[in-house]
């Protein structure tokens, strides 16, 4: 038995992954602030996909023996099945998903596992994992958006010629068609899809192989790993590759705009389902009751969707603020990039799914829409246009005459079509019986045939266009 000498390493509680120069382990508070495993375990699949691609490249380039790589790649699949099966014991001492996976891999395959991290760093690893994760969310958001577009199209098809009031300032403006109103959201969501796709195309460059920040002296093949992970190409600057999170900001920005759109539709559903409007009836499946007022049916899902913009846009602001002013390249600040993005993505998907269900299930009340469309002097513009067209008056004068007619109707407590011809002629002698034709709401919407207008025939063209787009993914 040899006597312990000064050269023997002290047993130390230092980290087994990087603790070579450390004599002491971390304080409990240090571990608590440093660990990301509590949340970044959500990137386990992406981490293992990235590691398997990296390992395959290490074998193909002769950097690591094929036999070791085979053991590593097999072992990584075992780790993944343990994680997905719920039997994996995550350790905060091992900080993050990357080191938890590698440590377990070492237990499974032995020292060969130590070769996996050749020509790689957690900096390019985490950037790769997070990009893969965000990319999956973009794909999920596009599916969710398209499902919602289909639900809106269904509503538009059912009521392409139903008449409802169109509003500006939430005051009755002109009659429009229900189909036209539904299709307005289809257009907005179509731009959300396109923003998501833009973000995806822009982000699709692989950080892997940038290593810690400067690249590596090993003869790696970055095209090979990029292709294996579905990236279009490797990122061209290693410093940039490990240190930007603009791809997550692109996603959050597209998500924020989408959440803003959802909040507007949600707000309309809240208003429309009220007893005062009765434009729509929400299904029981997407409503809740009140614990005290038995008559109530509340649009809670719509209200919650209306509120989701708060946390989604909040995440956008939070990440932008984390990234602001960081010197190149990686700083630990960047570990604060994930939780908010996870939360924003979860809530965006939930909001899209809930909105899709609500829109699919809701019943538009055709009679209430029609009745509301015919009040509030909604065809005053049609009257003014008639004065221009038939009596050849300048529009400004026609506007003034119509204003006087509205005032007259208001004084009499009736609507425009209820005025008699004599009433009309008292304001302008040239008005004839034919004016009454344009005062009806059906005629009003039928007349708005300009491209993009509310006439049912125009609306049906747009419905057909969107049906074709949604049924044929390559057309986008």
Residues 6 or more apart in contact with residue 58 via CB below 8 angstroms: 64, 69, 115, 116, 118, 119, 220
334 binds ligand ARG (CB under 6 A): yes
- Mask for 104-123, x = binds ligand ARG (CB under 6 A): ------------------xx
Query: CA–CA distance from 226 to each of 66, 349, 456 (Å)?
Result: 20, 28, 49
Q: Which of positions 88-107 make contact with ligand ARG (CB under 6 A)?
A: 96
Nearest distance in Å: CB 147, ligand ARG: 32
Using the contact rule CB under 6 A, the part of the chain among 231-239, 295-303, 332-340, 446-454 near ligand ARG is 332-340
When the beta carbons of 96 and 382 are compared against ligand ARG, the nearer one is 96
Which CB, 100 or 365, lies closer to ligand ARG?
A: 100
Residue 236, classified by CB atoms within 10 Å of its CB into exposed (0-12), middle (13-18) or buried (19+), is: exposed
Residue 112 CB, shortest distance to ligand ARG, in Å, is 23
Residue that has been written with the tokens 């731009």 in this structure: 191
Let me know: does 418 contact 436? Beta carbons within 8 Å. no
Contact region with ligand ARG (CB under 6 A), list: 141-149, 227-235, 327-335, 445-453: 327-335
Interface with ligand ARG, residue 382, by CB under 6 A: no
- Residue 177 interacts with ligand ARG (CB under 6 A): yes or no: no
When asked if residue 256 is in the footprint of ligand ARG (CB under 6 A), the reply is no
Q: Kindly report whether the peptide bond that precedes residue 423 is cis, defined as omega within 30 degrees of 0.
A: no
Cβ proximity to ligand ARG: between 117 and 278 the closer is: 117
Q: Is the Cβ of residue 272 or residue 330 nearer to ligand ARG in the bound state?
A: 330
Residue 76 CB, shortest distance to ligand ARG, in Å, is 18
Bridge partners (DSSP) listed for residue 177: 163
Choosing from 40, 68, 102, 385, the residue that interacts with ligand ARG (CB under 6 A) is 40
Q: For residue 335, state whether it binds ligand ARG (rule: CB under 6 A).
A: yes
Contact 37, 92 (CB under 8 A): yes
Q: Which is nearer to ligand ARG, 40 or 49 (CB)?
A: 40
User: What DSSP line would sit under 268-327, residue for residue?
Assistant: HHHHHTSTTT-SEE--GGG-B--SS-TT--B-HHHHHHHHHHHHHHHHHHHHHHHHTTPP
Give min distance, CB of 199 to ligand ARG, in A.
21
Q: Of 79, 80, 126, 189, which lies in the binding site for ligand ARG, with binding defined by CB under 6 A?
A: 126
Tell me whether residue 20 or residue 394 sits nearer to ligand ARG (CB atom): 20
Residue 132: CB minimum distance to ligand ARG, A: 14
At 234, is the secondary structure helix, strand, or coil?
strand
Rounded least distance, CB 337 to ligand ARG, Å = 7
Please state the closest distance from residue 40 (CB atom) to ligand ARG, in A.
Answer: 6
Secondary structure (3-state) at 209: coil
Exposure pattern of 438-454 as b/e (b: 16+ CB <10 Å)?
Answer: bbbbeebbbbbeeeeeb
Q: Does 204 bind ligand ARG (CB under 6 A)?
A: no
Please say whether the beta carbons of 248 and 213 come within 8 A. no
Shortest distance, position 10 Cβ to ligand ARG, whole Å = 25
Interface with ligand ARG, residue 330, by CB under 6 A: yes
Token reading at 389: 């067209």
CB neighbourhood size of 173 (10 A) = 16
Nearest alpha carbon to residue 138 among 344, 319, 280: 344
* Interface with ligand ARG, residue 36, by CB under 6 A: yes
Asked if 129 touches ligand ARG (CB under 6 A), the answer is: no
- CA dist 296 and 275 (Å) reads 10
Supply the residues annotated as catalytic. 169, 290
CB closer to ligand ARG, 83 vs 164: 83
- Is the CB of residue 122 less than 8 Å from the CB of residue 62? no
CB 222 within 8 A of CB 206: yes
Interacting residues toward ligand ARG by CB under 6 A: 36, 40, 96, 122-123, 126, 330, 332, 334-335
């Amino acid at each position: 038995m040899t006597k312990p000498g000064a050269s023997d390493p002290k047993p130390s509680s230092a980290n087994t992954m990087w603790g070579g120069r450390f004599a002491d382990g971390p304080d409990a508070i240090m571990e608590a602030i440093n660990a990301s495993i509590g949340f970044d375990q959500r990137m386990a699949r992406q981490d293992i996909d990235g590691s398997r691609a990296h390992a395959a490249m290490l074998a193909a380039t002769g950097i690591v023996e094929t036999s070791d790589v085979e053991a590593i790649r097999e072992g990584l699949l075992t780790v993944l099945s343990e994680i997905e099966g719920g039997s994996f014991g995550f350790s905060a001492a091992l900080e993050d998903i990357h080191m938890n996976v590698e440590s377990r891999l070492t237990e499974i395959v032995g020292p060969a596992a130590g070769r996996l991290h050749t020509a790689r760093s957690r900096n390019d690893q985490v950037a790769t994992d997070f990009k893969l994760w965000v990319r999956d969310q973009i794909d999920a958001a596009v599916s969710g958006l398209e499902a919602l577009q289909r639900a809106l199209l269904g509503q538009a098809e059912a009521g392409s010629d139903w008449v409802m009031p169109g509003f500006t300032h939430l005051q009755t403006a002109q009659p429009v068609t229900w189909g036209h109103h539904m299709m307005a959201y289809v257009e907005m969501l179509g731009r959300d899809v396109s923003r998501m796709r833009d973000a995806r195309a822009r982000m699709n460059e692989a950080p892997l192989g940038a290593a810690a920040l400067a690249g590596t002296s090993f003869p790696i093949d970055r095209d090979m790993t990029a292709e294996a992970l579905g990236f279009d190409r490797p990122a061209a600057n290693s410093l940039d590759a490990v240190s930007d999170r603009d791809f997550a900001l692109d996603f959050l920005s597209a998500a924020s705009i989408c959440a803003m759109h959802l909040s507007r539709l949600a707000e309309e559903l809240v208003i429309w389902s009220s007893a005062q409007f009765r434009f729509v009836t929400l299904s029981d499946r997407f409503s809740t009751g009140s614990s005290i007022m038995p008559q109530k049916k509340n649009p809670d899902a719509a209200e919650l969707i209306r509120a989701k913009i708060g946390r989604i846009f909040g995440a956008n602001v939070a990440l932008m603020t984390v990234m602001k002013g960081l010197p190149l390249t990686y700083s630990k600040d960047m570990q604060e990039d994930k939780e908010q993005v996870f939360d924003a993505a979860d809530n965006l998907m939930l909001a899209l799914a809930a909105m899709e269900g609500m829109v699919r299930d809701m019943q538009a009340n055709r009679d209430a829409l029609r009745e509301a469309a015919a009040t509030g002097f909604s065809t005053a513009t049609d009257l003014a246009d008639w004065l221009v067209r038939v009596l050849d008056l300048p529009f400004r004068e026609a506007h003034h005459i119509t204003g006087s007619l509205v005032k007259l109707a208001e004084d009499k407590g009736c609507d425009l079509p209820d005025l008699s011809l004599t009433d009309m002629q008292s304001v302008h002698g040239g008005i004839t019986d034919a004016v009454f034709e344009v005062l009806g709401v059906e005629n009003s919407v039928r007349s708005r045939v300009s491209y993009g207008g509310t006439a049912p025939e125009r609306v049906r063209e747009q419905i057909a266009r969107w049906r074709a787009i949604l049924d044929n993914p390559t057309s986008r």
